A = this chain, B = another copy of it.
Amino acid sequence: MVARPSIKLQRREEILDAFESCVIRHGLTGATLQKVADESGLARPLIHHNVGSRDELLEALLERLDLRYEQEREEFRQHLPGSDRCRAMLDIMFDHRYATSSHEGQLYQALSIGAEEHPNLQRSLNRWYGSLLADIEYELLDEHPQAETTDVRAIATGVIALYFNAESMALVTDRRTVFQDSKRAAQRLVETLKWNG
């Protein structure tokens, strides 16, 4: 028998959304269960009912971020044109991110602060960074086969730094300006790969 239908999956998403917002605004330690409850509009015990303890909440967030990262990776591949892919990549990383007012960079940075205390978190951040770096390196090297691998890695590191820092800087300066400048810098950085050939 099914009786009252379960809405755990929806509640889960609502709670994790609220948790993300709280982590971005108050940091991992500052994201209190009470704040998460207030942000989601649910009573605090419902967090336990739908997701679990505080550790399980973080665990669930990491799993969801893993999924989201893979999805965006897939979309990225589909939307990429056959040629001029590096240009399209930067468009997605900066223009699209600016338009949708996403906060992934802030979330990543907020999570990386408490990483020492949470081994799983540390591992996830490691995986994401390594994967992102490898993806960007691949695109760069594909369009610039003659480039040195050392240079490619340096450029990819720079693009990621601009990508992650744009949102943080947007807290202290004009968001539009920061995103424009960040993209411009990233474009120039990529163009330097043509120096070798």
Identical chains bound together, number: 2
Say yes or no: A155-B185 contact (C-beta < 8 A), given A114-B26, A165-B161. Answer: yes
The interface size of chain A toward B, counting residues with CB under 8 Å, comes to 50
Measured between beta carbons, the chain B residues less than 8 angstroms from A151 are 184, 188
A149 to B171, CA, bound (A): 22
Q: Are B158 and A186 in contact (CB under 8 A)?
A: yes
A83 close to B (CB within 8 Å): no
Taking CB atoms and an 8 Å cut-off, the chain A residues in 43-86 that contact chain B are none
Contact string, A134-178, partner B, CB cutoff 8 A, digits 1/0?
A: 000000000000000011011101101110111011011100001
Measured between beta carbons, the chain B residues less than 8 angstroms from A110 are 27, 113
A5 close to B (CB within 8 Å): no
Taking CB atoms and an 8 Å cut-off, the chain A residues in 20-46 that contact chain B are 24-30
Nearest-neighbor residue (CB-CB) of A180 within chain B: B154
